[in-house]
Amino acid sequence: MNTTAFSWPEGRRAAFSMTFDDGRRTQLDNGISILNRYGVKATFYPMPEALESDPERWRDVAAKGHEIGNHSLRHPCSCNFAWSRANPLEDYSLERMERELKEANARIEAVVGTKPVTFAYPCGEQYVGRGEGTLSYVPVVARNFLVGRGFDQWGLNDPVFCDLAKLHGRDMDRAQLETLQGLLDEACRLGSWLVLAAHEVAEQGDQAIAPAVLEAFCEHVTKANREVWTDTTATIGRYLRRCRGNNR
């Protein structure tokens, strides 16, 4: 990509994607109506079981123009998390990870009718194995998806230099409106792609964004439409891929 020629569409200064992990019930009960009210298209990364437990509502989410991505088959994370020790990344091989990602894709497509093209790393962790046998599974994600989104990272994504297979995702849980507005302002200043990630949409919880905060931020994003391109990770990722040609 020619670094001096890059520009966001229609003269906008930055891009923004809002994402939600796991397919938590509060996303359907509290979040989706807020997003739809303001016309904010988001990317959801539900577990296959979450989709299959409420297929009609998730199909409606997709029909409203939101993206449904892949968040793995079994949500493997480090064995340092006690709740992950029955299925830790340390026990995975690259072959097993790729097999499970493809199975998750098939189950998601069976519910919503479209194959996921973007992926969110569970816990933001991007490895399999242990010690000298540790390997990155970023190449597996790059081979199978347009975008791989990390989690709980502080960087913004430079549209020219960012690796689409390991985008930085900023934690939106527990965030206050002023913080979110500040991140959007920073993205505009730097010409970057801001990707936010949340879990619950609820009044309380360590992994929750309050509905009132989400609504106020959606209103702010809508008013910033002339400066910020807000869309799904797939749509913005496709734009960057076209700008880059074969260079991911």
**Least confident segment among 1-5, 95-99, 135-139:** 1-5
- Residues forming beta bridges with residue 195, ordered by sequence position: 17
User: Looking at the domain assignment, is residue 11 inside a domain?
Assistant: no
User: Looking at the domain assignment, is residue 6 inside a domain?
Assistant: no
Residues contacting 244, CB < 8 A, separation 6+: 1
Instruction: List pLDDT tens digits, range 151-168.
Output: 987 889 999 999 999 999
User: Looking at the domain assignment, is residue 108 inside a domain?
Assistant: yes
Whole-angstrom distance, CA of residue 239 vs CA of residue 179: 27
Instruction: List pLDDT tens digits, range 166-205.
Output: 999 999 999 999 999 999 999 999 999 999 999 999 999 9
pLDDT mean across residues, the chain: 96
Confidence of residue 248 (pLDDT cuts 50, 70, 90): low
CATH number at 206 reads: 3.20.20.370
Total domain count, the chain? 1
User: Looking at the domain assignment, is residue 214 inside a domain?
Assistant: yes
Rg (CA), the chain: 17
Confidence of residue 3 (pLDDT cuts 50, 70, 90): very low
Q: Tokens for 100?
A: 């499970």
User: Looking at the domain assignment, is residue 183 inside a domain?
Assistant: yes
Q: Which domain holds residue 56?
A: 17-244
User: Could you give the 3-state DSSP secondary structure of residue 135?
Assistant: strand
The pLDDT value given to residue 122: 98
Whole-angstrom distance, CA of residue 119 vs CA of residue 82: 24
One-character DSSP codes across 180-209: HHHHHHHHHHHT-EEEEEE-EESSS-TTEE
User: Looking at the domain assignment, is residue 170 inside a domain?
Assistant: yes
User: Looking at the domain assignment, is residue 186 inside a domain?
Assistant: yes
User: Looking at the domain assignment, is residue 67 inside a domain?
Assistant: yes
**Alpha-carbon distance values, 20 to 128, 188, 199, 209 (Å):** 24, 22, 5, 11
Determine phi and psi for 142, rounding to 5 degrees. -60, -35
Helical H segments across the chain, by residue range = 25-26, 32-38, 48-53, 55-63, 94-112, 138-144, 177-190, 211-223, 233-244
The pLDDT value given to residue 1: 44
Residue 205: CB atoms within 10 A of its CB come to: 15
